[in-house]
Chains A and B, each alone.
Chain A
């Protein structure tokens, strides 16, 4: 079943999926030791900044991969779907961030770390992709 789904992907989608999986693996490997070092050692100077950049790099790579995908995709319908998903996810995430920001400023909601914003963006996109695929089952 996985192979069948994999074969339905365009070459650009397969390449993008491979890149994202590698980057997520890198993120899973890099993040725990950084969190442990931050919690258990007294670090100062430029080291925390380097650690923060190291933690962010795989996620930045995922965004770069999205850009590469849009450039590589030769299937115009899939490209239009990806652009639509990005537009919806960006609007929804930015809207949620603005509303949450004001709720936080007025003391109605607790502080949420900014790095949750891209995770919400990715989740909304993934959700849309699942809905889109289920709607285009062969009739």
Chain B
């Protein structure tokens, strides 16, 4: 699933390790989510959204909406 995690992290000048510590996950997890290799669970997606103070849909791109060309 595509997402804006890398951009949001870069805007705050955080490394993957910085973000991982804030989310209490491993750096590999952040890397896997950023590169779209792993889709986080709903609780983790909410933690990410709360950390960036954004709605989930402004961070993660819905695959269905992307396919339909809505995004």
Contact = CB atoms under 8 A, between A and B. Distances in A.
A and B are interacting partners? yes
B31 A139 contact: yes
Contacts, number: 39
Contact of B38 (A9, A10, A80, A133): A80
Given A80-B38, A139-B35, A75 B15 contact: no
Interface stretch (B20-28, B53-61, B62-70): B20-28
Nearest to A77: B29
A113 interface: no
B51 interface: no
Given A10-B26, A138-B15, A138-B16, A76 B31 contact: no
30 contacts: A8-B28, A9-B26, A10-B26, A74-B24, A75-B25, A75-B26, A75-B29, A76-B25, A76-B29, A76-B44, A77-B25, A77-B26, A77-B28, A77-B29, A77-B32, A77-B33, A77-B38, A80-B38, A132-B28, A133-B28, A136-B27, A136-B28, A136-B31, A136-B32, A138-B15, A138-B16, A138-B17, A138-B31, A139-B31, A139-B35
Interface of B: 15-17, 24-29, 31-33, 35, 38, 40-41, 44
